[in-house]
Structure 1
Amino acid sequence: MLKRATALTKMKGVASGLLLLAALLYVVALVLTPGHPTFGGYLKAFSEAAMVGAIADWFAVTALFRHPLGLPIPHTAIIPRNKARIGANLGDFICTHFLSREQVLHKVQEFDAAKRLAEWLSKEENAIALSGLAIKLASHGVGALRDERVRHFVRGTALARLEHIDLARISGQLLEVLTDDGRAQEVLDELLAHFDVWMQGEATQQRISEVISSELDVLRFSFFGKELPLHNLAGNWSSKKLVKRLSEVITEVNQDADHPLRKHFDEQLVSLVHKLKEEPAFRLRADQLRSQLMQHPALLGYLSGLVDDVVNWFEDDIRQENSELRAHMSKGTRKLGEALSEDLSMQAWINDQILALAGPLVERYRSEIGRYIAERIEAWNDQELVEQLESQVGKDLQFIRINGTLVGGLVGVLIHLATEFATRL
């Protein structure tokens, strides 16, 4: 701004200097004319016309911004007097010729944001910078969790949200998802398979054997002073038979899609879903369970400890030079960029979404932009408006004064020459 003001002042000095030079030439012409009428006449014609052109153009340029000599001459100070209309017209012009829907969408389409984004993310320095920024922002948020006021707010907000959760209905809806498209049977197959593996384990069989042996303690007796562990033998035999039979049943269920156990499982699951979603007793019991959990000090202590553990781990990791979290984020960012670079259909989808969003945004905010331009110009102080415009175009406008001085002088010489020629005829 200072540089432009200096240049404007310099050009004003040049234009005013030419006017003074023309006035000086006029004085010289008056002195020379009696002794040198021909040369003096041409010099006088040039200087007179130059002064007229300079003054006329000075008046025209000045009248754009202010009243010449401070006199309220009509049709002067054009810009300050018409700033509201100028602002409105400028806003309309920009909205019509620069912010039309077709023009903006064409430029957005040419920009190819998806491709540029992919290329930007693929560069290692950008991935590192982005991950660093994300870590820095996250560290501020995570660090705030150490403040007791924040912890109290988060805990209170979370508990308040939990109080409005319909635990029974949500549980019923989750179970209902399992019953759709035969997914419940898939879950049953997995459960039975895991149960079979667990039952086949030595530790499980040993535990079953011990339980059965303790129940058959009546078989423990001595013969000729020596204890006979018939209860242990019976327990081992029974546990093996039990495990074998359960395994056979599981195999039968897995191989028979119409096994009665499958039908019974579906029926019980459907019944449970209905009770959870519709029966008041189940919902009341779920609400009571939720209240007990929320009021239990162990739960609050666990949640607080969990938050502290997460915060400690996060802060310890990001302080290290070889931060795993930062490295994973940087690597993931680059991979995302590389994958996006190779996936033209995904790029097309992203660009389509941007185009779909840009259209309504242009329509919504275009008129507001126009109003903002008009209101901003109208709200400007007259002096501020003049200074802003004059700093931008005032230097070029001074060339009008310079040209007016020179062209006016030349025209004066031509008129004087034509007059001399006409009088000699």
Structure 2
Amino acid sequence: MSDRALRRMRTTATGLLLAMLALLVASVLGQPHYPWLAWVRAFAEAGTVGAVADWYAVVALFRHPFGIPVPHTAVIPRNQQRIAENLATFVERNFLAPDLVVDRLRTHNSAQSVAAWLAAPGNSRALADPAVDALPALLRVFDDDEVARLIQRGALPGLRALDVSGIAGHLLQILTETQRHQPLLERALTALEAWLADNAGLLQAKFSEASRYTPVRLDAYIVNKFMQGVIALLHEVRTEPEHPLRQQFDDAVRDVILKLRTSDRYRRIGRLWMRDFLRHLEREDSYRALWQRLRDWISADAVRHDSLARAMLADLLASLGASVRDDPALQAGLNEWWLRGVRFTVSRYRHLVSRLIAEVVKGWDADEISRKLELEIGSDLQYIRINGTFVGGMVGVLLHAAMLLIAG
């Protein structure tokens, strides 16, 4: 409620009080000549008493009436410290009780709601974009030597036992499910097409070396025709989404995914490659160079319009959301884990919340808090004054009637 509206309500209530006083005076003066004005007088007397009583009660909440320090007035400013403590205790007991919070949250399937939201591509991209945007600045914070030591002491033991084949298969499956492998194929085809166009002379020279008994012009003609055919084929595959070679590529990728995730042979090969890679790192002390290259790649990729890291993170989040959304058992487990965390957090920190509320309320200026509260509930309080005036008047009429019945 605004100050202006509150002043208007006060004026209305006070004007009604003055009107009752004027009516009382008029009825008293006119009663000797018009006996029926006794009813008006009863109404005006009781209405005036009700209006004055309610005015006093409302004013006493926020300030001393007429500035006179009457006991038990200016209730809110004078009891600010006690109100702060009681408010903090009330919130802690009635809003931050662990059982109450957990029971209220248990009625809602939070895991399903979050997962469904995350599974939407726009939402997962909205999370991935700022995360990838922040990566370059975050990576520059870490010292190269510290990262090298962290990789050597913390990451290597876990990497040695890593199922490289299974992880690679899972990542490829995410790429294929979201059709992210097709842009990668298109990039590779574009790069190959450009390389062939730029190195036609080199290929012709290599062909001439292998075919010493054919004329140079014939070699150039054969290589040129071959190059044109290959480039045309690459262009067709790159520009036609339904090209048969794309279907063959999809079949080959699905076959590789199956082998990566299920084949013991591929699993052994993955572990051997990881072992050799880690041995190379240890032998060459390449942790720092590896970190620098990874950081530079991420920084360069993050600013690209078609950022691979951005797309992969968004797809990973969407895939995670879809998996949880469609798995009730997983949702139940996540909900229980979340509720245990809520119970622990509320039980441990609710006292701090109540203390914060108490300290904040205690620190408020007494006049300011009175003004804010009056603005919030002022209209209702002024309506109480108005209603009290009319209710008092009606009670006065009823009492006058009762007295007449008793006297008669």
Amino acid at match of 2:24: Y
Structure 1 unaligned blocks of 5 or more: 179-289
The structure 2 residue matched to 1:22, chosen from 12, 20, 23, is 20
1:416 to partner: Cα distance: 2.7
RMSD between aligned residues = 3.4
Percent of pairs with identical residues:
36
1:304 to partner: Cα distance: 8.2
How many matched pairs? 291
The structure 2 residue matched to 1:392, chosen from 371, 376, 380, is 376
- 1:1-400 alignment, distance < 5 Å: 3-39=1-37, 41-141=38-138, 145=140, 154-158=143-147, 302=289, 306=293, 309-311=296-298, 313-315=300-302, 318-320=303-305, 322-400=306-384
What CA deviation, in whole Å up to 9, does each residue of 1:203-253 have, x standing for no partner? xxxxxxxxxxxxxxxxxxxxxxxxxxxxxxxxxxxxxxxxxxxxxxxxxxx
1:383 to partner: Cα distance: 0.6
Aligned to 2:73, the other structure's residue is in SS state coil
From the CA coordinates, give the structure whose radius of gyration is larger.
1
Amino acid at match of 2:112: K
The reply on whether 1:419 has 2:373 as its aligned counterpart is no
**Higher mean C-alpha displacement, 41-50 vs 14-23:** 41-50
1:107 to partner: Cα distance: 1.8
Query: Take 2:130 and 2:150, find their aligned partners in 1: how far apart are those partners?
Result: 31
Amino acid at match of 2:32: P
What CA deviation, in whole Å up to 9, does each residue of 1:302-327 have, x standing for no partner? 46862674256324xx432x333332
When residues 346 and 161 of structure 1 are mapped into structure 2, their CA distance, relative to the original with a 3 A threshold, is closer
Aligned to 1:354, the other structure's residue is in SS state helix
Query: Take 1:124 and 1:305, find their aligned partners in 2: how far apart are those partners?
Result: 31
1:50 to partner: Cα distance: 1.2
Query: Take 2:43 and 2:295, find their aligned partners in 1: how far apart are those partners?
Result: 91
1:56 to partner: Cα distance: 0.7
Query: Take 1:303 and 1:413, find their aligned partners in 2: how far apart are those partners?
Result: 95
Structure 2 unaligned blocks of 5 or more: 163-281
1:6 to partner: Cα distance: 3.7
Query: Take 2:39 and 2:299, find their aligned partners in 1: how far apart are those partners?
Result: 94
Query: Take 2:115 and 2:395, find their aligned partners in 1: how far apart are those partners?
Result: 64
Moved segments of 4+, more than 6 Å: 159-162
Aligned to 1:37, the other structure's residue is in SS state coil
What CA deviation, in whole Å up to 9, does each residue of 1:94-136 have, x standing for no partner? 2222221111111222222211111111112212212222222
Query: Take 1:323 and 1:293, find their aligned partners in 2: how far apart are those partners?
Result: 31
1:9 to partner: Cα distance: 2.5
